[in-house]
């Protein structure tokens, strides 16, 4: 694979829970930090007492048998109560946070996106905007995103650490998750519930845009596929329509209406390919089409037998679908 | 618990209950079963169906366990062992049903 | 190895009660599943279309009475009345078999009415729950059968009262479970 | 007064006689708890190594980003096998090995309550393990993860035999485990020596008692879940089929209703070992004995009410999450009590740093780290960032290795002289401890960071741009240090077996009953059953007692300190029996048949019944009654 996708935009840790960029992630991070401090205190006390004890009371030759102390009620009460108090201190912000993050959002202005987990890619639908896309969700900065999570097959879990914690996609349930991004950027995510062979390669990206950029993206993506200009991509469309591709993929405005694989109507506008695992470049598209099963073992897209020329044409076609 | 009780293992603790007593219990069980089914068919009792059935069920359960299985006359330890398992089972049933929203 | 007992209860009897305690969890989980899934069936047949209360009341009665036979067998062997022991053991096993026969009939009937095991959520939970109970009854019948054979061979006397008692504990437990299932499955549909 | 004045040295029976005499057949038919304990130990050690190698293969694959050493399917199979083997075929049976060897000796009994049932438990464990591993040559290893979440593990998404091996093998092992639970529960309740009241039981035995209860209550729900899974896979039922109105999440509940108590099954015996070892090597009785006992009971009890903490990301709603999060946190209290009482036991003592003690201290230090990350998981919102990442992997290896494995190593060094009559080398022991301790921390500490920085678990690869490279590389290096850590252990065992110094009855000057009999103990354990009149019967004839019970001597008993060389009167011990093996084979055949052949199932059933009847009608002990 080898591609370092867009590392620049994200700093060193594009998928880190410690670098929050939304209200949700910040809440979790604050809570976590608090608990870490309490834990650090307990750690220092326990390990300190342990080390001090074993050094101070190491056996010395000729020393008499130690005096028996069979217990001490006050001490027992002390080390029962002290941890209990610490736990109360942890439990209070915990419960406060639970009742915020585990409830549906109250923000009426929220942008609803349906995220459907599939082995091993993500489908994103914007019901209010009439957009269907895959693996990459665009959202505007500063507006609450209300995700509706569903699964088409097995369990998955939606997780974009910098925007918040994970929530599972459970067959037969609809789960919710919401966050309000506070900075622009490309945030990496990854399926976090083991879902079979290619679970490790079920990545995703959430692209937080300035509102104007988001609106432009919406306008573009509401439309059908763009008209093709150059002959190469037109030839590619021919190959696409003549092959099995159409049975699995949809390209709005064309004869391709397959539902099994990702919607490719605006594929050329995506940053990545194959659920976040490859940068979306010409070479990579060719590699993907040439050897899907090698690049993403287990993927439900079969290897398709095509000549080099057809591959070039297809890549041109797909990348032209902006 | 200590050496004293060493050899007295066994079933010497129960008073000798007569066969008539057992038959009486069985009759109660049969009558209660009949009652249960009756309650089931009487429309007027429908609102209390659940409560009545549960009471009858628990009583039947207790009768068999106490008298046919001799828990009433046997060592408290055995009651403890059984009640422990039963308690945890009820706990798990109730907790699971609660988590699945079966209580409204 | 039957050494002295620290609690005054014999090892075997304590073990049987322990096992019964553990079985409570087994049936508890099965029952929890049944209750959780009750009413979530999406395709028929549904329980209220099939469950035959009068019929199952009769087999329930038979199983209850087998418990009576069982205590009578125990009482008999404690009195060293071997003849009665034999009779009551036989009757207990026989009543158990009748119950099983009833269950076989019921299952068969359901299958014919379009409810095989794999039909829907009701069939899954119903057959596995009552089937597990039936399996326990069947095990008990075999156990009682061997006791009966030993009794006819004259190898069972008052010194074996505890052996019979333990088999009885198991048998009554299976009965007690049925008391619960009868109410939960059939009467509270 | 030192114990050596009291402890009777029965001479050294030596390694190659007594307990270890007799050919293979004598081991196959043995019903002696000590031998069964040793069989358990050796077998689970093999499984530990196999699962350890699997763990190392996982680490090798993750050594660098986008590695192509293992293909994803193989990786998924390996972590499934690693987790399943470690928990069910290395951890638990290793614990049962210690129960077997130690518990009857600690309570002054001659064997367990049901020796043949004990043998059956062993065979079922062995056969279940072999059955699981027969999936390797058949190239059908399970790959659903050790908790096998539905619906991925349904026949629709996991066709093939892999998950069937998982289900059937764990069903088989579970039967043996429940049988063992009954056996040890009855043994400890019923077979205590005269005067061995509950509040005089050694802590290890106490924990064995509690763990038996946990097994009895936790395994049935798992068994039921496995049966549902088997029916869904093989007979088309719909227990976890969302399309039929069922809820796949039910599997998660059934698994974790078992799974969380299971982790306490794995840790409490280790706590028990440490509670025996720390006093022995501090030369000071356990501080707050009753409190340590009751905190163990409390942990076990609370352990049944917290299972949902493995499911915080499922979306069960704020109330459920809050309740279970709070309940989970509570467990920190009794666990902390244990930690503090251990430290208080050492306080004022004369601490000898023999290998058992090093591992015990290592446990106190390392387990605390794992426990604290556990508390971080227990906060449901915080856990939303942690669950299913390497942060969890770090947590559970800290408690499982820093807790369970360290505790069991401590027990191994502690009781090895009792089991073999030979001393292990302290130098090699210390090398083993330090290498293990370092390797362990190097492997698992960085996982806290890789997890928080975004590394999900159960992923065969990770992208280069995530900044995870260094942490993963360190973890892999640590995992390889583990291999070297095992070298001194095996050298040590081998050396001691060949030419270790004779141990004597009580090499550590330890206070509990197992140290009154010769090493290795005679077949019948105790020539005369001792009468116990106090806790720590080999120490302190009359002691001041703070919290606990005050010593009074019961008249007419036999002092535990005077074990005659030969039993004064003949002892009846159970005869060897091959029926447990026959029954075990029958059940194995049934299990194998369940992969697809009714005929084989029936054959297995026939053999099982044969074994059962042979067993029932075999006189259990010569001349008894
Ligand atoms: C030996 C096994 C063992 C033990 C003992 C524990 C102990 C604990 N575990 Fe752990 N756990 C596992 C094995 C174990 N665990 C495994 C295997 C998994 C993962 C399974 C999988 O997903 O594959 C897991 C996962 C796991 C999760 C789920 C994480 C997730 O998947 O999202 C949680 C969540 O709450 C949790 C919590 C705890 C807690 C609170 C304890 C407590 O018992 C810890 C208590 C101890 C202490 C806290 C330290 C000592 C206390 C003091 C010094 C007192 C003062 C302390 C305070 C005031 C904080 N564990
Ligand atoms: C008691 C339990 C236990 C123990 C001891 C271990 C030990 C180890 N585990 Fe463990 N692990 C689990 C229980 C355990 N694990 C569980 C339950 C899971 C979850 C599985 C799942 O997700 O389903 C897991 C998952 C897990 C993962 C996560 C996989 C993933 O999510 O993708 C990793 C990765 O690093 C890992 C690594 C290791 C390593 C390196 C060790 C090391 O400690 C191993 C040490 C090495 C050895 C013990 C062998 C050394 C010996 C030799 C090399 C041979 C020498 C031979 C002779 C001299 C004869 N384990
Ligand atoms: Cu989808 Cu993991
Ligand atoms: Cu847990």
Inside any domain, residue B104: no
Distance separating alpha carbons of residues D130 and C182, to the nearest angstrom: 41
Rounded to an integer, what is the distance from CA D429 to the centroid of its chain?
Answer: 21
pLDDT exceeds cutoff 80 at D10: no
Query: C74-101 as b/e, with b when 16 or more CB fall inside 10 Å?
Result: bbbbbeeebebbbbbbbbbbbbbbbbbe
Say if B10 falls within a structural domain: no
Is residue D108 within 8 Å of residue D196, measured between CB atoms?
Answer: yes
Q: With an 8 Å Cβ cutoff, are C36 and D186 in contact?
A: no
Q: What's the pLDDT score for residue C48?
A: 84
Residue A194 Cα to ligand 3 midpoint, Å, equals 5
Chain D residues with CB under 8 Å of B95 CB are 305
Residue C189 in tokens: 């549909």
Token digits of residue D417: 């002289």
Spell out the domains of chain A, with CATH numbers in brackets.
15-59+74-221 (2.60.40.420), 231-320 (2.60.40.420)
Contacts of B78 in chain C (CB under 8 A): 9, 13-14, 17
Domain limits for position B76: 19-99
For residue A272, give the H/E element and its range.
strand A272-273
CA D484 from centroid of its chain's CA atoms: 23
Mutation target to probe the B interface, by most B beta carbons within 10 A, among D188, D190, D191, D194 is D194
- For residues D411 and D277, the answer to whether their CB atoms sit within 8 Å is yes
Is residue A102 within 8 Å of D320, Cβ to Cβ? no
Closest Cα partner for D561 from D595, D531, D524, D606? D531
Please say whether the beta carbons of D283 and D350 come within 8 A.
yes
pLDDT tens digits for A209-219?
999 999 999 99
Q: Which of the two residues, D621 and A33, has the higher pLDDT score? A: A33
What integer pLDDT is reported at residue D86 of this predicted model?
Answer: 96
Helix residue ranges per DSSP H, D500-575: none
pLDDT of residue D503: 87
A63: which DSSP letter? P
Q: Which ligand is nearest to the CA of D76?
A: 2
pLDDT value at residue D558: 63
- Which H helix or E strand runs over A147? strand A145-151
In three-state secondary structure terms, C146 is helix
Q: Is D261 helix (H, G, I), strand (E, B) or coil?
A: helix
Residues of A in contact with D543 (CB under 8 A): 68, 70
Domain ranges of chain C: 11-187
Alpha-carbon span D504 to D14, nearest angstrom: 10
With bands split at pLDDT 50, 70 and 90, how would you rate the model's confidence at D574? confident
- Cα separation, C28 vs C21, in Å, equals 11
Q: What angle do helix axes D332-346 and D355-378 make, rounded to 10 degrees?
A: 150
Asked if B97 reaches chain D (Cβ–Cβ under 8 Å), the answer is: no
Which residues of chain C from 45 to 64 reach within 8 Å of chain B, CB to CB?
Answer: 53-54, 57, 60-61, 64
Q: pLDDT category, D8, cuts 50, 70, 90?
A: very low
Classify each residue of A197-218 as buried b or exposed e, where b means 16 or more C-beta atoms within 10 Å of its C-beta: bbbbbbbbbbbbbeeeebeebb
CA D306 / ligand 4 centre spacing (Å): 7
pLDDT band at A3 (very low <50, low <70, confident <90, very high): very low
User: Are C20 and B90 spatial neighbours (Cβ–Cβ below 8 Å)?
Assistant: no
Contacts 24+ apart (CB under 8 A), C105-112: C105/C55, C106/C52, C106/C55, C106/C56, C106/C59, C107/C131, C109/C50, C109/C52, C110/C50
pLDDT tens per residue across span D59-102: 999 999 988 899 999 999 999 999 999 999 999 999 999 999 99
D623/C1 Cα distance (integer angstroms): 11
C-beta separation of D407 from D450 below 8 A: no
pLDDT band at C189 (very low <50, low <70, confident <90, very high): confident
- At A227 the pLDDT is 83
Considering Cα of A148, then A153, then A156, then A162, what sign does the dihedral take? negative
CB A200 to CB D72 under 8 A? yes
Average pLDDT, chain A: 90
Tally of CA atoms within 13 A in the half-sphere of D142 that contains its CB: 28
- The pLDDT assigned to D567 comes to 79
List pLDDT tens digits, range D450-490: 999 999 999 999 998 888 999 999 999 999 999 899 999 99
Return the percentage of chain B with pLDDT > 70, whole number. Answer: 84
| Selection from B63-72, C158-167, D352-361, D529-538 with the highest mean pLDDT | D352-361
Is the distance from the beta carbon of residue D387 to the nearest atom of ligand 1 less than 6 Å? Answer: yes
> What's the N-to-C CA distance of chain D in angstroms?
42
Tokens 């387990």 belong to residue? D367
Collect all residues of chain B within an 8 Å Cβ-Cβ radius of residue D537: none
* Token code pair at residue D14: 């030596």
Cα–Cα distance, C108 to A78 (Å, whole number):
65
Asked whether residue C9 carries a pLDDT value surpassing 50, the answer given is yes
Structure tokens at D306: 């917290």
Say yes or no: B37 contacts chain D, CB-CB below 8 A: no
Q: Which CATH superfamily is domain D31-211+264-507 in?
A: Cytochrome c oxidase-like, subunit I domain (1.20.210.10)
Q: Is D518's pLDDT higher than 90? A: no
Please classify residue D157 by burial: count the beta carbons closer than 10 Å to its beta carbon, then call 0-12 exposed, 13-18 middle and 19+ buried.
Answer: middle
At residue B3, the pLDDT reads 35
Q: Contact B85/C53, CB-based, under 8 Å?
A: no
Residue D268: its pLDDT value, please?
Answer: 97
CB A150 within 8 A of CB A169: yes
Give the one of C1, C26, C117 whose C-beta lies nearest to D224's C-beta.
C26
**pLDDT tier for residue D556 given thresholds of 50, 70 and 90:** low
Number of H helices, E strands in chain B: 3, 0
How far is it, in rounded angstroms, from Cα D185 to Cα D336?
A: 26
B22 min Cα distance to partner chain D (Å): 30
Nearest Cα residue to D116 out of D42, D36, D185: D36
DSSP 8-state class, residue D192: P
Cα(A160) to ligand 3 centroid in Å equals: 13
Nearest alpha-carbon partner for C63 in C27, C99, C88, C87: C99
Q: Is the peptide bond before A117 cis (omega within 30 degrees of 0)?
A: no
Inspect the interface and report whether the beta carbons of D236 and C41 lie closer than 8 Å: no
Q: Which CATH number fits domain C11-187: 1.10.3720.10, 1.10.10.410, 1.10.1740.110, 1.20.120.80?
A: 1.20.120.80
Task: Return the pLDDT at D562.
Answer: 64
The interaxial angle of helices D33-61 and D115-133, nearest 10 deg, is: 20
- Are D216 and D185 spatial neighbours (Cβ–Cβ below 8 Å)? yes
Residue A184: name the closest of A2, A21, A6, A72 by CA: A21
Q: Which is nearest to A146 in space by CA: A125, A132, A161?
A: A125
D319: Cβ contacts below 8 Å, ≥ 6 apart: none
Q: Who contacts A195 (Cβ-Cβ below 8 Å, separation ≥6)?
A: A117, A119, A120, A153, A154, A155, A156, A202, D152
Backbone angles phi, psi at D552, to 5 degrees: -140, 145
Whole-number Cα distances in Å, B20 to B6, B32, B71, C32, C88: 34, 18, 19, 37, 15
Structural domains counted in chain B:
1
Residue D351 DSSP code: B
Find chains touching chain D: ≥3 CB pairs under 8 Å.
Answer: A, B, C
Distance CA A1, CA A15 (A): 18
Q: Tell me: the pLDDT tens digits for D207-250?
A: 999 999 999 999 999 999 999 999 999 999 999 999 999 999 99
Q: What residue's CA is closest to ligand 1, atom 36?
A: D374
Count CB atoms within 10 A of the CB of residue D490. Answer: 13
With an 8 Å Cβ cutoff, is B56 touching chain C? yes
In tens, the pLDDT along D16-31 reads 457 787 788 888 989 9
Contact D365, A47 (CB under 8 A): yes
The DSSP bridge partners found for residue A138 are A207
Question: In this prediction, what percent of chain C has a pLDDT beyond 70?
Answer: 98
Read off the pLDDT of residues A38-89 as tens digits, 9 standing for 90 and up: 999 999 999 999 999 999 999 888 888 888 888 888 889 999 999 999 999 9
pLDDT tens per residue across span C98-156? 999 999 999 999 999 999 999 999 999 999 999 999 999 999 999 999 999 989 888 88
Determine whether D21 is exposed, middle or buried from the number of CB atoms within 10 Å of its CB (0-12, 13-18, 19+).
Answer: exposed
State whether the beta carbon of D375 lies less than 6 angstroms from ligand 1. yes
d(CA D571, CA D529): 11
pLDDT in tens, B26-42: 999 999 999 999 988 88
Token pair for residue D156? 């629709």
CA of D400 to the centre of ligand 2 (A): 10
- Tell how many helices (H) and how many strands (E) occur in chain C: 6, 0
pLDDT at residue A253 in the model: 86
Tell the residue nearest (CA) to atom 18 of ligand 1: D396
Lowest mean pLDDT among A10-24, D411-425, D531-545, D600-614: D531-545
Please state, as a whole number, how many other Cβ atoms lie within 10 Å of the Cβ of residue B88. 23
CA distance C56 to C70: 21
The protein residue whose alpha carbon is closest to atom 1 in ligand 3 is: A156
């Amino acid at each position: 694979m080898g591609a370092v996708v867009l590392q620049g935009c994200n700093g060193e840790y594009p998928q880190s829970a410690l670098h929050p960029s939304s209200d949700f992630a910040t809440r979790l991070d604050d809570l976590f930090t608090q608990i870490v401090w309490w834990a650090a205190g307990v750690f220092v006390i326990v390990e300190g007492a342990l080390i001090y004890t074993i050094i101070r009371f190491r056996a010395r030759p000729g020393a008499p048998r130690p005096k028996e102390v069979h217990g001490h009620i006050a001490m027992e009460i002390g080390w029962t109560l002290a941890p209990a108090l610490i736990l109360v201190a942890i439990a209070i912000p915990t419960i406060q946070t639970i009742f915020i993050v585990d409830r549906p959002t109250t923000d009426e202005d929220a942008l609803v996106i349906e995220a459907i987990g599939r082995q091993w890619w993500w489908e994103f639908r914007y019901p209010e905007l009439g957009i269907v896309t895959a693996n990459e969700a665009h959202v505007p900065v500063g507006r609450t995103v209300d995700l509706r999570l569903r699964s088409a097959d097995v369990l998955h879990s939606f997780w974009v650490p910098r925007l918040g914690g994970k929530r599972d996609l459970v067959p037969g349930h609809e789960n919710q998750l919401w966050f309000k991004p506070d900075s622009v950027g490309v945030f990496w995510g990854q399926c976090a519930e083991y879902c079979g062979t290619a679970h490790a390669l079920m990545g995703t990206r959430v692209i937080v845009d300035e509102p104007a950029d988001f609106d432009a993206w919406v306008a573009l993506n509401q439309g059908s596929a763009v008209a093709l200009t150059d002959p190469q991509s037109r030839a590619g469309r021919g190959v696409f329509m003549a092959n099995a591709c159409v049975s699995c993929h949809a390209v709005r405005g064309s004869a391709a209406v397959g539902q099994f694989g990702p919607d490719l109507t605006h594929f050329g506008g995506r940053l990545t390919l194959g659920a976040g695992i490859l940068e979306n470049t010409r070479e990579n598209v060719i590699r993907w089409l040439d050897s899907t099963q090698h690049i993403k073992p287990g993927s439900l897209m079969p290897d398709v037998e095509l000549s080099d020329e057809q591959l070039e044409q297809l890549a041109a076609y797909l990348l032209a679908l902006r | 618990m200590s050496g004293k009780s060493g050899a007295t293992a066994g079933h010497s603790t129960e008073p000798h209950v007569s066969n008539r007593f057992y038959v009486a219990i069985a009759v109660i069980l049969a009558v209660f079963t009949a009652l249960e089914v009756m309650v089931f068919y009487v429309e007027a009792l429908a609102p209390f169906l659940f409560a009545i059935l549960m009471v009858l069920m628990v009583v039947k359960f207790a009768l068999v366990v106490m008298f046919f299985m001799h828990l009433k006359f046997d060592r408290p330890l055995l009651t403890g062992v059984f009640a422990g398992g039963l308690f945890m089972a009820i706990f798990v049933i109730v907790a699971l049903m609660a988590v699945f929203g079966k209580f409204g | 190895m039957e050494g002295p007992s620290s609690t005054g209860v014999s090892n075997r009897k304590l073990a049987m009660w322990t096992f019964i305690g553990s079985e409570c969890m087994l049936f508890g989980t099965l029952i929890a599943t049944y209750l959780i899934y009750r009413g979530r069936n999406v395709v028929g047949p549904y329980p209220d279309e099939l469950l035959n209360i009068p019929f199952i009341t009769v087999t329930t009665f038979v199983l209850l009475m087998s418990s009576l036979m069982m205590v009578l067998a125990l009482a008999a062997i404690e009195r060293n009345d071997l003849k009665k022991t034999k009779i009551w053991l036989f009757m207990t096993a026989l009543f158990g078999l009748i119950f099983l026969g009833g269950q076989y009939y019921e299952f068969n009937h359901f299958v014919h009415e379009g409810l095989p095991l794999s039909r829907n959520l009701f069939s899954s939970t119903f057959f596995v729950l009552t089937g597990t109970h039936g399996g326990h009854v069947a095990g008990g019948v075999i156990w009682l059968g061997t006791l009966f054979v030993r009794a006819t061979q004259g190898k069972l006397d008052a010194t074996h009262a505890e052996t019979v008692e333990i088999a009885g504990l198991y048998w009554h437990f299976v009965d007690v479970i049925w008391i619960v299932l009868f109410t939960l499955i059939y009467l509270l549909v | 007064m030192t114990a050596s004045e009291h402890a009777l040295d029965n001479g050294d029976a030596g390694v190659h006689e007594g307990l270890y005499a007799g050919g293979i057949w004598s081991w196959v038919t043995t019903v002696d708890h000590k031998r069964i304990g040793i069989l358990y130990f050796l077998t689970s050690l093999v499984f530990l190594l196999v699962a350890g190698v699997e763990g190392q293969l996982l680490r090798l694959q993750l050594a660098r980003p986008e590695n192509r050493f293992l293909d994803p399917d193989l990786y998924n199979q390996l972590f499934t096998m690693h987790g399943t083997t470690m928990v069910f075929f290395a951890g638990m049976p290793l614990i049962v090995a210690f129960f077997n060897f130690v518990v009857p000796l600690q309570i002054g009994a001659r064997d367990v309550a049901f020796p043949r049932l004990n043998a059956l438990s062993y065979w079922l464990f062995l056969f279940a393990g072999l059955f699981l591993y027969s999936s390797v040559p058949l190239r059908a290893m399970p790959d659903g993860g050790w908790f096998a979440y539905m619906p991925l593990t349904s026949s629709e998404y996991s066709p093939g035999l892999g998950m069937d091996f998982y289900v059937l093998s764990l069903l088989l092992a579970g039967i043996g485990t429940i049988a063992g639970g009954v056996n040890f529960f009855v043994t400890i309740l019923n077979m205590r020596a005269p005067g061995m009241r509950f509040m005089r039981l050694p802590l290890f035995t106490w924990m064995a008692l509690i763990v038996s209860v946990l097994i009895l209550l936790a395994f049935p729900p798992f068994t039921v879940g496995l049966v549902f899974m088997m029916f869904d896979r093989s007979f088309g039922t719909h227990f976890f089929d969302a399309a039929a109105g069922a809820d796949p999440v039910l599997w998660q509940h059934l698994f974790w209703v078992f799974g969380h108590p299971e982790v306490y099954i794995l840790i409490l015996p280790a706590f028990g070992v440490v509670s025996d070892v720390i006093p022995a090597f501090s030369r000071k009785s356990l501080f707050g004995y009753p409190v340590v006992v009751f905190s163990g009971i409390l942990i076990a009890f609370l352990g049944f009410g917290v299972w949902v903490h493995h499911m915080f990301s499922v979306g069960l709603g704020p109330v459920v999450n809050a309740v279970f999060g709070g309940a989970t946190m509570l467990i920190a209290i009794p666990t902390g009590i244990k930690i503090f009482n251990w430290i208080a036991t050492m306080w004022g003592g004369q601490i000898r740093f023999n290998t058992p003690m090093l591992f015990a201290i290592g446990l106190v230090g390392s387990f605390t780290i794992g426990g604290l990350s556990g508390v971080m998981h227990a906060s449901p919102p915080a856990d939303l960032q942690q669950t299913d990442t390497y942060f969890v992997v770090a947590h559970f290896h800290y408690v499982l290795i820093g807790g369970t494995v360290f505790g069991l190593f401590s027990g191994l060094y502690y009781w090895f002289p009792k089991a073999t009559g030979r001393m292990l080398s302290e130098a090699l022991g210390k090398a083993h401890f330090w290498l293990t301790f370092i390797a362990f921390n190097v492997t698992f500490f960085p996982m806290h960071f890789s997890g928080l920085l975004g590394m999900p678990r159960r992923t065969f690869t990770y992208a280069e741009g995530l900044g995870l490279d260094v942490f993963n590389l360190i973890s892999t290096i640590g995992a390889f240090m583990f291999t070297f850590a095992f070298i001194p252990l095996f050298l040590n065992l081998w050396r001691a077996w060949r030419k270790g110094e004779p141990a004597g009855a009580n090499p550590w000057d330890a206070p509990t009953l197992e140290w009154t009999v010769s090493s290795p103990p005679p077949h019948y354990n105790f020539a005369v059953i001792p009468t116990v009149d106090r806790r720590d019967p080999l120490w302190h004839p009359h002691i001041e007692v703070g919290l606990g019970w005050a010593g009074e001597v019961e008249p007419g008993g036999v002092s535990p300190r005077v074990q005659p060389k030969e039993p004064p009167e003949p002892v009846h011990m159970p005869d060897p029996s091959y029926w447990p093996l026959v029954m075990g084979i029958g059940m194995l055949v049934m299990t194998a048949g369940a992969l697809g052949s009714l005929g084989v199932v029936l054959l297995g059933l026939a053999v099982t019944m044969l074994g059962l009847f042979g067993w029932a009608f075999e006189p259990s002990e010569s001349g008894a009654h």
